[in-house]
Structure 1
Amino acid sequence: MRFGVAGAGFSGAVIARELADAGHEVTVLECRDHVAGNCHTERDPQTQVLVHRYGPHIFHTGNERVWSYINRFGVLLPYYHRVRTTVGGRVYLLPVNLLTINQLFQTALNPDQARAFIAEQADSSIEVPRNFEEQALKLMGRRLYEAFFLGYTRKQWGLEPNEIPASVLRRLPLRFTYEDSYFSHPHQGMPRDGYTAIVSAILDHPLIEVRLSTPYAAADRDAFDHSIWTGPLDDWFEHRYGRLGYRTLDFEEIRATGDFLGCAVMNYGDLDVPYTRITEHKYLAPWEEHTDTVCIRETSRLAGEGDIPYYPIRLAADQRTLRRYLDAARSASGVTFAGRLGTYRYLDMDVTIAEALATADRILAGIDSGGRIPSLCVDVDGA
C-alpha cells in the first residue's frame, strides 16, 4: 500500500517508519521547513548552543519498548530535569518538595512533620475535587496553592483555576523529601545531537519520502491508499463543527555573555509578571560548555487561526465539540488519526511514541487480515 502521512513529528515519523519497515511506500508531508514538530532542535549559529525552538522537551519514560526504540536512532545522555520558580521575589524548588515547604513556611520540618503539617493545611471538607482549585486545596491547602499554582495557572491557561479540570493538577507531585528531579521515571535523558537528528534518523528509509514546507492538502487524500493524519482533528473535517480550543506560546529570545538563569528552566508564578517561564538552553545539555548563552522567554495566550496549537484546552464546550469530531473520525474511511493534535490530547513524547507504535501495529494487523484499517487506534475518550 501507499501511505500519505501528514506531519513529521514523532507520531508521523514513527508510524511512517513502522509501515516502511513492513514494506509499504510512505510519503510524509510536513508544512514546516523541518522535521520533529514541536520537538525541533537546532544549533544556534552564534553560540552553538542546541536550542529547543518550541520550548524545552525532556525525554522520560517507564516504557521499555519506547526507551529501546528511541535509542535505536540516537544517543541519549543522562539528564535529570530540575525546575525553579520565582515567586514574591524569592526562588523556590519545583515540584513542591520538603525544601519548598520549609522555605515558604520558614520551618525546619522533617518528612513526617511536613506530611502532618500539610494535612492540617489541606481542605478536608472537599471530598471529590471538581476542578483544579479544589484539587489543590484538598492536596496542599491555600498557602502553597496561592504561592505556586494560582498565578502560574491563570497565565498558562488564561482561565480561573476553578474552570480547569482537576486532572491537570493530578499530574504534578507533592513530595515530602528533598528530591528535586522533576520526573520520577526510571529512564530520563536528552539526545546528544537533538531531537531533530533522531526524527531524521527515524525517517531515513528507502521507502520513505519526506516533503518539507508542504501542507497535506485535501487533494492529497486521493493520491494515497490511506492517510495518517497527525494535524489538528478539526482541520481534517474543515471545522464543520467549529474550532477546538488551544493555547499557544509566544517566544522572546534573550542573549547574554556568561550565564543568565543558572538553571535550565525558571518559572514565574507572580501574576504581575506576564510570562510563564524562561529556558536557558545550554543547561539542557550539561555535558557541553558554552561561553555565551541563549534563553527563550515564553508567554501563553489563546491560539488564533494561523497560530501553532500547543495545549488543548478541553473545557466543557470543547469536550462537546470534540465528541462530535470523534464520532465523525470513527466513521471516517481512508484515514487514521494519531498524535497530540490528531486526537486532541496533551501527550508526553514517550506516550506519543508508544501510541504511534500501537497505531502502526493495528494498521498492519488490519492490512494482514484484509479488514478495515481503524481510524482511531487508541482510546481517546475521557483523556
Structure 2
Amino acid sequence: MHILLVGAGLSCAVIGRTLAEAGHRITIMEARDHVAGNCHTVRDADTGVMVHVYGPHIFHTDDEEVWDYVNRYETFLPYKNRVKTTSKGQVFSLPVNLHTINQFYGKTLRPDEARAFIEEQADTSITDPQTFEEQALRFVGPDLYEAFFKGYTIKQWGMSPRDLPASILKRLPVRFNYDDNYFFHRFQGMPENGYTAMVERILDHPAITVHLNTAFTRAQADDYDHVFYSGPLDGFFDYELGRLGYRTLDFERFTYEGDYQGCAVMNYGEEDVPFTRITEHKHFAPWEEHEGSVCYREFSRACGPDDIPYYPIRQVKEKALLAEYEALVEKVGNVTFVGRLGTYRYLDMDVTIREALDVARAYLGKAGAGEAVGA
C-alpha cells in the first residue's frame, strides 16, 4: 500500500515506522519546517541549552512497551519533575504535599495529623463535586485553593473554575508525605539528545519519505490507499461547521547568565501575575552543565485561526460541535484521525505512542485480512 501520513509528530512517526516495517510505502506531509510536532527540541546556539520550543515535554509512563519503544530510538536519562510555585511572597512545592502543608500553615504535622487537618479545612458539605471549584474546596479547602489553584486556573483556561468540570482537578494529587515528584509513573525521563533526534530516528527508514513545509489538502486523500491524519479535526473539513475551541500559549523568551530560578518549572498561581509559569530549560537536562540559561514566560489565551492549538477546551459547546464533526468523519472512507488534534483530546506523549501502535496494528490486521479499513 501507499499510505499518506499528515503531520510528523509522535502519532504519525510511530504509525509510519510500524507500517514501513510491515512493507508499506509511507509518505509524510508536514506543514512546519521540522519533525516532532509540539515536542520539537533544538539546541540553543549561544548557550548550548536544549530548548523545548513549544513548551516543556516530560516523558512519564507505566506502559513498559512504550518505554522500551522510545528507548529504541533515544537514550532516556532519569528526570524527576519537581515543580515549584510562587504564592504570597513564598516558594512552595507542587503537587501539594506534607512540606507544602506544613510550610503554608506554619505547622509541623505528621502525615496522619495533616490528613485530619486538611479534612477540617475541606468543605464536607460538598458530597458530589461537579465543578473545578467544588472539587478543590472539597479536596483541600479554601486557603490552598485560593493560593495554588484558583488564579492559575483562571489564567490557564480563561474562565472561572466554577465553569470547569471537576475532572480537571482530579489529575492533581495531594500527598501526605514529602514526595515532591510531580508524576507517579514507574518510568520517567528525558531524551539525552532531545525529542527531535528521537523522532528523526523513528522516521529513518527507506520506505518513509518526509516532505517538510508541505500543506495537506483533503483532495489529496484520493491519491493514496489510506491516510492517517493528525492535523486539526475541524481543519480537515475546512472548518465548515465552525472551529473547535482551544487555548494557545505565547512564549516570552529571555536569557540569563547563571541560574535564574534553580528549577525547571516555577508556577505563578496569583491572578495578578499575567503569566502562568516560567520554565528554565537547562534544568530539563540535569546531566548537562551550562553557564548561560534560556527561560520562557508562558501566557495562556484563546486560540485564534492563525495560532498553534495546545489545549482542547471540551466544554458543552465544543462537545456538541465535536459530535457534529464526528458524524462527518463517519462519511469519510479512507482516513483515520489520530493524535491530539485529530481526536480533539489532550494526550500525554506515552498515550499518544500507545494509541499510534494500536492503530497501526489494527490497520495491518484489517488490511492483511482483506477487510475494509473505515474512518
Q: Is TM (by shorter chain) over 0.5?
A: yes
Take 1:330 and 1:108, find their aligned partners in 2: how far apart are those partners?
A: 58
Say if 1:362 and 1:373, in contact at 8 Å, map to a contact too. no
Asked if residue 33 in structure 1 is aligned to residue 33 in structure 2, the reply is: yes
Say if 1:275 and 1:297, in contact at 8 Å, map to a contact too. yes
Name the counterpart of 1:204. 204
Asked if residue 249 in structure 1 is aligned to residue 249 in structure 2, the reply is: yes
What's the offset of the Cα at 1:328? 2.0
Query: What is the root-mean-square deviation in Å for CA atoms of aligned residues?
Result: 0.8
Deviation larger for 152-161 or 134-143: 134-143
Cα deviation code 1:109-144 (max 9, x no counterpart):
110000001111111111211111111111111111
Amino acid across the alignment from 2:367: I
Name the counterpart of 2:290. 290
Asked if residue 138 in structure 1 is aligned to residue 138 in structure 2, the reply is: yes
Say if 1:362 and 1:374, in contact at 8 Å, map to a contact too. no
Name the counterpart of 1:380. none
Cα deviation code 1:151-204 (max 9, x no counterpart):
000000001001111111111111000000110101000000000000000000
The residue correspondences of 1:102-113 to structure 2 (distance < 5 A) are 102-113=102-113
The residue correspondences of 1:1-383 to structure 2 (distance < 5 A) are 1-375=1-375
What's the offset of the Cα at 1:321? 0.5
Deviation larger for 233-242 or 303-312: 233-242
Deviation larger for 324-333 or 349-358: 324-333
What's the offset of the Cα at 1:39? 0.2
Cα deviation code 1:60-95 (max 9, x no counterpart):
000011011111101000111110000111100000
What's the offset of the Cα at 1:374? 3.6
Take 1:124 and 1:171, find their aligned partners in 2: how far apart are those partners?
A: 20
Amino acid across the alignment from 1:63: D
Q: Gapped runs of 5+ residues in structure 1?
A: 376-383
State, as a whole percentage, how many aligned pairs show the same letter: 58
Say if 1:131 and 1:161, in contact at 8 Å, map to a contact too. yes
Amino acid across the alignment from 1:127: T
Cα deviation code 1:26-49 (max 9, x no counterpart):
101001100000000000000110
What's the offset of the Cα at 1:281? 0.4
Take 1:172 and 1:331, find their aligned partners in 2: how far apart are those partners?
A: 39
Say if 1:34 and 1:212, in contact at 8 Å, map to a contact too. yes
Take 1:137 and 1:329, find their aligned partners in 2: how far apart are those partners?
A: 40
Amino acid across the alignment from 1:338: V
Take 1:127 and 1:368, find their aligned partners in 2: how far apart are those partners?
A: 52
Amino acid across the alignment from 1:298: E
SS of equivalent residue, structure 2 residue 172: coil
Take 1:328 and 1:63, find their aligned partners in 2: how far apart are those partners?
A: 33
What's the offset of the Cα at 1:219? 3.2
Amino acid across the alignment from 2:34: H
Cα deviation code 1:1-50 (max 9, x no counterpart):
11111100000110111111110001010011000000000000001100
Say if 1:366 and 1:374, in contact at 8 Å, map to a contact too. no
